[in-house]
Every structure is written in C-alpha cells, then in structure tokens.
Structure 1
Amino acid sequence: MTTLRAGDWVEVRSREEILRTLDKNGRLDEMPFMPQMFEYCGQRLRVYKRAHKACDTVNPVAGRRISSSVHLDTRCDGKAYGGCQAACLLFWKEAWLKPVGESAGIPSTSEHVEARPLPERAAEAACSEQEVWKGTRGADVEGQPRYICQATQLPRFTQPLAWWDVRQYVEDYTSGNTSLGRMTRGVIYLFFWHILLAKKRKLGRPARVFYDWFQGLWGGIPFPKRVGTLPVGQMAPCSDLNLQPGDLVRMKSYEEIRATLVSSSNTNRGLSFDAELVPFCGGKYRVKTRVTRFIDEKTGAMKSLKTPAVILENVWCQSRYSDCRMFCPRSIYAWCREAWLERIPEEASHHPVLSSSRAIGSSSERDGTERIVANEAAGHARRHNA
C-alpha cells in the first residue's frame, strides 16, 4: 500500500539495491526502470505527487490505476531512447526509494523512517545494468528501432480505473496531489459540461454564456472547450519564430489562437489545442526546448514532426478538463505551435515569468500562483506526424 505523500522527502536507493528488485527485463511489476534513473541513486528528492493513477496514451485515452508508485521532480532526458524530446515525468516504485525525515524544510541525514523491505527475487532473476539498457529496445521493424519505456509500457503495469470510482478522488486529496479548492472547481466544470452542455440538452451558447458569467464572479477561467474558427479546407497559418531554449514568449489570447485552428479538428497542422491550455493563454513563459523527435507510445517507433513545436517551462497538463481522468498526476508537457506564441524582448517584460529550473513544487504552490496548465492531448498529439 502506498504511504508516501506529495512533499515527502525520499532517498533513491543504490544501484545494487534497485537491481535486486528488477527482473531480467529491467522491470518491477512490469514497470521499467529506465537507465537515466541510475543518475539519481543516492540523491534525496521530494515527492511531486503520488502516482496512484495515470492517463493511458497508448490505447484510447482512459484512466489507469497504479500501485505503490510516486512521481519525483525527475523527467526523461531521452538519451537512452534515440533523443526523444517528450520529457515525460518518470514513475518511481516505492521499492526504489527510502523515506527520510525532514527538519526545517531540509532533508535530515539522521531522521530516517524505517524503509519498506525490498521485494525478494531469486538469485537467478537478478538484473544487471546492461540488461536495463537492453530492456530499452524491442525488435526492429523494417530496419527501424522500436523503443520500450515507461510510457510505452504503461498499460502493462497499470489496471483499468473507472471515472466513477470515488476512491481515486479521495486519494487525490489525502495524498496531497490536489487541493480541495481545485477539486471543487473541477466538480463545477463537470456539472456544466455534462449536465448543461451535453448535446442532448441543446443549451449550447446560453449555457456557455452563463458559465463565463459565473466564472467571472471570482476570476475563474472562461469555458475552455470552444472550437477553432478556420473553415474546413483552409490551410492553418504557420509561424517560424525560430524560438530557442530560454527565449521569452507570450501565449496569445484564446480567441487569437482559435483563429489558427481548423474548426473540424481544433488543430493547427495536425497538433491539437486542448482545453487544458486555455488557462495558460495570455501568460509569459520561457521556452524549454524545441520538439522535432518523439516516441510514439503506441508503437515505440521514433517519429518526426513536419512542423516543429516548442515546450514551455512549467507548462504541463493538470487534468482540469480531462473527461474520465480528472486530476491525473502525470503532468505531460504541452506542445505549442509558434503560431500560438509571440516573442517578447527581455526589456519589454514587466511582469513575473512562469519559469523555474525546479518547476515541480508543492500542491499549494501549484494550485496558487503558478497556473500550470497543458494539453491533455499531448500524448495523443505525439501520434500525429504533425
């Protein structure tokens, strides 16, 4: 049973201890231990969120339950996976971690909490570091490599999770993953979406106007599921700002972005703009990286974007508006078209920028000042050779 909560301090076990938990494929309960995770051995890190559930981006998007796992402030660097630039948040089994005490906000070297015993493996099942590396590749298909990572294997180390299973939402709150205020706002949105805005209700525009009015009473986000305004068949605009890591940008307003999206698909050249990005509109952010290569979670194949996208610092999915998988802690980075952004000269910025090299903070920080949002369809967008 998972005991770690968001904000807890842990120490990553040694290589030898972790290898003893893995099978010959470098996995524990089918969850791969990825090679770049070795660099964190011996380090003390804070739990970002309890990974008790996740969204499945391999199969039709749905919720999945996970046991005895957490997310730390660690993301995949892609070095063991052909240079994939998706920067997925890593999953950590509790067996790979040791809880540590905390004093005055600093991890203590003496206040160790009794660690959970390591899973026992037969001597012949012990894994080596070479086998962990070998476990990153499947059989080539038509001469092209197929990669195996936590994202591609997610259905194998998870179980189906129905959206109506109330226990997941209780755990969202008790684990420290989500604040009561965030959950309340989620319930309000779901009420409007499923009761007032369902197609069979035919309330449409009046309900959206009422939603916007209600949200405006307390400074909330307007209705986030509007479609693009470009007619079907019209070419979506393409901008080439040649943005590079560290550049300062502003995300355009929601209405400006809708003008770049094809109405039938809500996409710009194959990349979808989702409701999870709406609270982000109008903000100023720094570019984290350009995205040209990514692994298709469904096949393990490396894909290339025809039109490059960019990832902005601190911009990832909070599952505010994600049907059937609300409050998923997976925090998938958004991908943005440069047509949705505008460059800002450094001297022109007079407001705080949502930018941090250690962006993953406490639940209260995330729910308060940061306004971290992203595209719920980031995993889906990876399947588009956009």
Structure 2
Amino acid sequence: MNVEGMLVGNRVVVRSASEILSTLDADGTLDGLPFMPEMLDWCGKSFRIQRRVDKTCVEGHPMRRFPANDVVVLDSPRCDGSSHDGCKHGCRIYWKHAWLRAANEDASSNEEIQSSNRDTEQLRSRIKVKSDELRYFCQSTELLRSTEVFPPGRHRRMRVALTEIRNGDIGIFQALQLFALFIRQRILRMLGYDNLLRGPHERTPKQSLNLQPGELVRVKSRAEIVKTLDRKMSNRGLGLCHEMMRYCGHETKVRYRVDRLINETTGVMRELTDSVTLNGIEGCGSLGEECLCPGEPGDCPRGELMYWREIWLERVSSQ
C-alpha cells in the first residue's frame, strides 16, 4: 500500500493470516520486524491509523527510523504479553504497510477476509517468541536490528517534526508544547537538575502497597521520591525519568501491576515487585501516561509507559 493510504485517521483492515504469512521470512519477520502471536486476533479486523512511525526510540540508542518508512500504529490495544510469558511492558504494536489494506478496497466476502484455523496455525508456527532458552524474541528486542540511524544533517529533528505535523501525527499547538518541554528539560540538565534527583542510598528501600488496577493514587513529592533513590536516580534498578517529576502531587488510577518485563537489550525476562503503571494523569495532558524521549523535541510513536515503584505513590482514600 502506498504512503498516501497510510495517513493518520485512515481506516485499514489487518490482512488475513495467509496474506501476512506470505510476507514473512523464516524468523517470522518482515525487514527484521516480527509479526507477533499477540497480533493474530486482529487479522481481518478494522482499525484507524493512530500514528505514522517516522521515528522511534530504541533503548540505549539515539532516535532511529525504519528504512522503508512503512510502519504505523493502529488504534488497537497495546501488546498484552500473553504469548511472551506475561510480559507487562505494554508496548504499542508496530504494523508494516504490507500487513494492512485500505478498508475501502474491494473484498469479495467476510469469509475470505477472515482467516481459517489452518491459516492461523500456519502463521503461528512461523512466529518466534524466543531466540533461545533464556532470550525472548519480539518487536521490542528486534527493534534495533529492524531500524537504522538517521542520515546526518543539522536540521534532522526539525525535518522530522515538520513531517509529523504534515502527516497529522501531532498538531502545531502540541508540537510547540512538546518543543517547549524539550527546551525546558535541556536547560534543567545544563543547570545540574540531574543532581537534584540523585538519592542518598547504596541499597534502596522498598514498600509494598499491593495496589490493584483501578485504585486511586497520588504521586508523592519530588523530595519524598528522591529519598528512595540511589545515586543513579533509581530504586532497586528501576530508573526514574525526568518526565515523571511533572506528575508529583497529581492523582490518577492504577493501570495494572508490573511484575515482569522483557529487557529490550538482552531479551531476558526481568522480574519486578511492588511496581505499577498508571493511567493518564489528570492535568498533565494527553501524554500523561507516557514517557517522552529526552533527546528529542517531541514525543515518540512508541508511547512507552512509565513504571512506578509503589514507594513513590500513596493510596488516596475513596472517602
């Protein structure tokens, strides 16, 4: 499908299992990007394009891009990790153009759009979920291999931002807000703001609130949170990002508990305790549940969720 058919707001249909299978290599990937078992249930279903992926963050690397510029995000649920032993990363799923068709394309019948059980099982058998006994295989772990660095250029960031505005990914007002936030954070870092978030501990404390999905919580003050951190701005290895400090004092509800995450760099499952992710935080805008990439003057299509230790939160009474 051409780029013009893959603009924000356009309705598309996920192709059948047999059509998708024909695009995949022996590892179940297209241009290195895996089609995952969690995506199977959406074959034949219709969605709107939520975002074009003109750039993407990759753990430990500068912002990268897909060489063919043929990836979008749909208004479908995030990955639930059900086929990857319950990983709670909650990634947005990336979709290649070849796995989609425009909703207005002719289709002879629903039976032909839907995948047969045999087609689905053939596709499932092609898909990898592990590289070996310890390392998992998914879009997150393969993101570095399926993307490339941007070509050098002084105004690369500005060109990408203008493309995102032109494609309807973000509005001009939101782009200005994100740019202002980017500048603010850079100034804070230049002034030594990192040092204000370095805690006193060698071995950090923990607290268990046993928070459950839907419970109302309040983010503690910056001073209270810093008291739980080490010099690397982390608590028991879970790092604190600068954006999280914008939410101090705000209330929101628990999205779900986070007890295991696949490490994007190593592919190994990491076990967590006393951690949750939160719904959008009231008063913090539409990106109130997502981490912004500090090195970019805008948001990232990945929309990575922020993970919170329970010791950084307090339960709010329902009375």
Shift of 1:322: 1.2
Q: 1:81 aligns with which of 84, 97, 104?
A: 84
Report the secondary structure of 2:301's partner residue.
Answer: coil
Shift of 1:336: 0.0
**Cα gap change, 1:20 to 1:55, in 2 (>3 Å):** same
Shift of 1:186: 3.3
Report the secondary structure of 1:46's partner residue.
Answer: strand
Give the alignment of 1:166-315 within 5 angstroms. 166-192=158-184, 194=186, 199=190, 204=191, 227-228=196-197, 230-233=199-202, 235-262=203-230, 264-305=231-272, 307-314=273-280
Mapped to 2, the partners of 1:155 and 1:293 lie a distance apart of 21
Cα distance per residue 1:209-259 (max 9 Å; x no partner): xxxxxxxxxxxxxxx8663263354x5442211111222212223343233
Shift of 1:308: 3.0
Report the secondary structure of 2:141's partner residue.
Answer: helix
Report the secondary structure of 1:261's partner residue.
Answer: coil
- 1:78–1:84 CA contact under 8 A, matched in 2: yes
Q: Does 2:158 match 1:158?
A: no
Q: 1:344 aligns with which of 300, 316, 319?
A: 316
Shift of 1:318: 4.9
Report the secondary structure of 2:256's partner residue.
Answer: strand
**Residue matched to 2:49:** 47
Identity of matched residues, %: 34
Relative to the length of structure 2, the TM-score reads 0.81
Mapped to 1, the partners of 2:189 and 2:123 lie a distance apart of 52
**Cα gap change, 1:83 to 1:277, in 2 (>3 Å):** same
Q: Which moved more, 1:17-26 or 1:3-12?
A: 3-12
**Cα gap change, 1:316 to 1:54, in 2 (>3 Å):** farther
Mapped to 2, the partners of 1:249 and 1:14 lie a distance apart of 42
Cα distance per residue 1:284-304 (max 9 Å; x no partner): 222122112111111211121
**Cα gap change, 1:251 to 1:114, in 2 (>3 Å):** farther
Give unmatched runs, 5+ long, in structure 2: 108-120, 281-287
The CA RMSD measured in Å over matched residues stands at 2.6
**Cα gap change, 1:265 to 1:169, in 2 (>3 Å):** same
**Residue matched to 1:331:** 303
- 1:6–1:48 CA contact under 8 A, matched in 2: yes
Give the alignment of 1:120-159 within 5 angstroms. 128-133=122-127, 135-140=128-133, 145-159=134-148
Letter in 2 for 1:296: N
Mapped to 2, the partners of 1:228 and 1:240 lie a distance apart of 22
**Size of the alignment, in residue pairs?**
291
- 1:229–1:260 CA contact under 8 A, matched in 2: no
**Residue matched to 1:7:** 9
Mapped to 1, the partners of 2:7 and 2:244 lie a distance apart of 27
Letter in 2 for 1:323: G
Report the secondary structure of 1:77's partner residue.
Answer: coil
**Cα gap change, 1:192 to 1:304, in 2 (>3 Å):** closer
Shift of 1:193: 5.1
Report the secondary structure of 1:95's partner residue.
Answer: helix
- 2:182–2:298 CA contact under 8 A, matched in 1: no
**Cα gap change, 1:89 to 1:259, in 2 (>3 Å):** same
Relative to the length of structure 1, the TM-score reads 0.68
Letter in 2 for 1:254: R
- 1:227–1:266 CA contact under 8 A, matched in 2: no
Mapped to 1, the partners of 2:253 and 2:201 lie a distance apart of 33
Mapped to 2, the partners of 1:198 and 1:259 lie a distance apart of 20
Mapped to 1, the partners of 2:23 and 2:248 lie a distance apart of 44
- 2:210–2:274 CA contact under 8 A, matched in 1: no
Report the secondary structure of 1:169's partner residue.
Answer: helix
Report the secondary structure of 1:336's partner residue.
Answer: strand
Report the secondary structure of 2:51's partner residue.
Answer: strand
Letter in 1 for 2:175: M
Letter in 2 for 1:227: L
- 1:35–1:132 CA contact under 8 A, matched in 2: no
Mapped to 1, the partners of 2:181 and 2:82 lie a distance apart of 39
